């Protein structure tokens, strides 16, 4: 059977781990630890419907040049923003435009809705979480009036940043159309 590369890799890795573990068919032990390899592979889900675009296309140099970390941007088509991961809300900006999340595996994420939207002072942002809340992938974080943001002359481009990328050994970014709460937007591996 032919699978797309990602699915095939997942099935092969799952087969290796579930069926063989660290024991080879001849009874010898693997030198690598399949369990730790499986635990290091992770993904983040798109926080909203839209188009995934490279960070360097953003009009804000702090994001475009990676000064705040590494990640991807989203040009949202829907104003419902959901958690891209299982974790904890560790910060909500006073202007309600930015959310800091700590994933269960220790990544620190910044979801920054729009560019310069801090100047709206919360207008058009309707948060559904607060600092300290536990969230699951797909849980609603905030509803946003994207039309209002655009009417006021602000970009709705939304960076999703890993602010502690030193924990990563690799980071792969999706491009193109994504569905919030469903489609992968980032895939990463943790350092050993």
Q: Tell me which residues are annotated as active site.
A: 112
Is residue 35 within a helix (H) or strand (E), and if so which, with residue range?
A: helix 34-40
Assign 77 to helix, strand or coil. Answer: coil
State how far the alpha carbon of 68 is from the alpha carbons of 92, 146, 165, in Å. 17, 24, 10
Which two tokens mark 159?
């960076």
CB 119 within 8 A of CB 154: yes
E strands of 37-153, at which residues? 41-45, 50-53, 70-76, 80-82, 87-92, 98-103, 108-112, 125-127, 134-135, 140-144
Instruction: Give the other-Cβ count within 10 Å of 95's Cβ.
Output: 15
Alpha-carbon span 8 to 51, nearest angstrom = 25
b/e sequence 115-133, b meaning 16+ C-beta within 10 Å: bebbebeeebbebebeeeb
């Amino acid at each position: 059977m032919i699978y797309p590369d990602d699915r095939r890799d997942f099935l092969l890795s799952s087969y290796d781990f579930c069926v063989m573990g660290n024991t080879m068919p001849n009874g010898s032990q693997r030198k690598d630890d399949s369990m730790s390899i499986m635990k290091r592979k992770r993904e983040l889900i798109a926080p909203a419907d839209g188009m995934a675009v490279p960070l360097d296309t953003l009009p804000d140099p702090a994001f475009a040049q990676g000064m705040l970390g590494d990640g991807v941007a989203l040009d949202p088509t829907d104003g419902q923003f959901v958690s891209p991961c299982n974790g904890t809300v560790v910060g909500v900006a006073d202007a309600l435009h930015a959310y800091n999340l700590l994933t269960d595996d220790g990544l620190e994420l910044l979801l920054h809705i729009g560019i310069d939207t801090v100047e709206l002072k919360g207008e058009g942002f309707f948060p559904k979480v607060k600092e300290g809340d536990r969230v699951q992938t797909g849980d609603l974080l905030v509803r946003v009036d994207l039309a209002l943001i655009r009417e006021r002359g602000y970009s709705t481009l939304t960076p999703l940043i890993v602010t502690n990328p030193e924990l990563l050994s690799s980071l792969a970014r999706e491009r193109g159309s994504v569905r919030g709460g469903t489609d992968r937007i980032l895939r990463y591996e943790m350092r050993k």
